[in-house]
Amino acid sequence: MKMQQQHIRRAIGMPLDRVDGRQKVTGSATYAYEYQVERGTYAFPVQSTIARGRVVEMDTSAAQALPGVVAVISYQNAPRLAHLDDADLAVLQSDAVAYYGQFIAVAVAETSEIARQAAGLVTVRYEEQPHDVTLRADPGVLYAPETVSPDYATDTEKGDVETALASAAVSIDHTYTTPTEYNNPLEPHTTVASWNDDGGVTIYDATQGAHSIRDDVSKAFGLPPERVRVIARYVGGGFGSKGSTHPHVILTMMAALVAQRPVKLALTRQQMFALAGYRTPTIQRVRLGADGNGQLTALAHDVVEQTSTIHEFAEQTAVATRIMYAAPNRRTTHRLARLDVPANAWMRAPGECPGMYALESAMDELAVACKLDPVELRIRNIPTSDPETGRPFSSHGLAACLREGARRFGWQQRDPGPRKRQEGRWLVGMGVASSTYPVYQFPAHALVQVDRAGQYRVRIDATDIGTGAWTVLTQIAADALEAPLDRVRLEIGDSSLPEAAVAGGSSGTASWGSAIIAAARKLRARLHKQYHDVIPDEGLEATGEGGTNPGEQQFSMHAFGAQFAEARVHVDTGEVRIPRLLGVFAAGRIINPKTASSQLLGGMTMGLSMALHEGGVRDPRFGDIANHDFASYHIATNADVGTVDVAWINEEDQHIGPLGAKGIGEIGIVGTAAAIANAIYHATGIRVRDLPITLDKLLR
């Protein structure tokens, strides 16, 4: 068949509706827990009620006697797992308890209700040991990890920071804290496991990366990777929490193996607070020194954060500070406290989000001390090259974002002094903060096929966690193939497809898209060269690889942005309202303005939630999170969010790959909390350095 030659309208850059929108609205999009399996059973875990110790006795007889119970599994009868690098995944392999909420048994039954009842009938006696669950800046319990996530140096230092601070014309020295924060995607963490007759297994999982689950499961159960298939076509949010394998995946696999029937497990909202990762709390000391013109002469950012005793995760909290502003004398450090707590993990913009809250709050305090406009102070200190590596930036749009944001927000009307504007009983202020996120790309593979009818099938194990990957990858493929959108069929979310990296680090579109472009170009070349656009009876296919960028060895690559906030604080009650937020970003090429705006708006809303609402409260007596549900762990809802305006500047970056896209999933949250905190200071004259900013901190 000869392909029809026609003018094709470019899809990239168009604000197209989501191609999966109808399926999601009508409920026909199938999420992990909704897959139907024959003779399916349900699992409900038994969790530890101590923070440290061991199980010395467990009675499962009442649970096993309950009608409808298929199995009760504990460390006494659980299948033995292969050697694991991650001790947190060694589920039911010993009697040891490392944190409150750890799996110590699981009940499998014909219904979810029976499984839950059976789990409640299991009685346990412990040998409790002293525990420590409280983060504090105590040098006696802190240590320096080898690296911080993913592979950054733990500490960096240039020049003589202490001397420069001591001699600075203006200096500040403050400590900022952020609490434990939880990802809480709308779709809970769920796994459905079904062992096949040939000894392989099919898993339906709410994950940000099917291949990563496949690899961890195959290692744990000693299976060849090709015997494990993981399906995750639709995922209802993740924010990083579904980017790595958590213990419930292993537990579900184990339950299905013992029961010899498919098993479904869905963590409850309360269980997710212990078992699905979280953002570490931080204690951050920031010291800045400047000359009389507000030019930074010294910068020090020292971070204390936590990790668990059985799984080290060192969040890269001070890494963004290394590239944000120029200063000849600079130091960043990270120190960890190893505590008897669940494993922390990725949460939207790990590192940049809490780290930039501290840095951008400190920059606001420096602007006040220097009697300079906060926008102007930031612009004066933008580096001409990467302060750490000396490499030139592939592009740098921060100054443009700050200026455009100031113009749009009406910044020129702002009185520089705090507590100067009052409307009725409300104090009104404005705040600003910078945002940044690195350009990540990871290896990806794609397969593109064309049939005799000229219909294209694009296959890649990408994952759409609600970000719009179904849509933007279809747009990218259509343009690369020079074909209409309706002739492109995308297949993603399945480990049987060509391997691609996890949906994380704002890397998906650039990584997956470059692989699709490479495969499409090969296919187009083959059609033109071999068949002059005539497709043979059996069709054609081509593979492509992407996600690697030689330019990263020559350039420093980052997206930048500026966040502006208006805060209103009630004089009598301390209530805070944020009627206006504006974010202006420089993030390379925008593939789909509609989905991009949605991502940036969502990130900024999450930043508002971080500033005013979110904070896990760990009970030091028992080691558990006391507010482990939405009744007491508050997140921003519609009534809390005023007008959120999103914009971006046109930025062409020739060095970041064929798409020129930098990633936008995370930069929206970065800087938002600081902008709000700075606006609250401007409204009230009260500087709050400990998140969240609740009304009790403003009643003075």
Q: Catalytic positions, please?
A: 666
Q: Which two tokens stand for residue 684?
A: 């009230």
Q: What is the C-alpha separation between 27 and 32, in angstroms, rounded? A: 13
The amino acid occupying position 169 is A
Q: Any bridge partners for residue 307, and if so which?
A: 338
Separation between Cα atoms, residue 46 and residue 117, nearest integer Å:
11
Distance CA(511)–CA(500), nearest Å, equals 8
Residues in the chain: 700
Residue type, 553: Q
Transcribe 374-409 into DSSP letters: HHHHHHHT--SS-TTT-PPBS---HHHHHHHHHHHH
End-to-end CA distance of the chain: 78
**What is the distance between the alpha carbons of residues 561 and 396, in angstroms, rounded to a whole number?**
10
> What is the rounded CA–CA span in Å between residue 100 and residue 492?
37
B/e letters for 640-669, b = 16+ CB within 10 Å, e = fewer, are bbeebbbbbbebebebbbbbbbbbbbbbbb
Q: How far is CA 352 from the centre of its chain?
A: 11
- Structure-token pair, residue 153: 């140096």
Q: What is the gyration radius of the CA atoms in the chain, in angstroms?
A: 26
Quick count: other Cβ atoms within 10 Å of Cβ 567?
A: 28
Cβ(47)–Cβ(104) below 8 Å: yes
Instruction: Please count the other Cβ atoms lying within 10 Å of the Cβ belonging to residue 592.
Output: 24
- 555 and 394 Cβ atoms separated by less than 8 Å: yes
Q: Where are the extended beta strands (E) located within 439-533?
A: 444-450, 456-459, 488-491
Nearest to 431 by CA among 561, 585, 324, 562: 562
- CA 203 – CA 245 distance, rounded (Å): 13
Q: What phi and psi, each to the nearest 5 degrees, are found at residue 106?
A: -150, 140
Calpha distance 392→94 (Å, rounded): 52
Residue 383 contacts residue 326 (beta carbons within 8 Å): yes
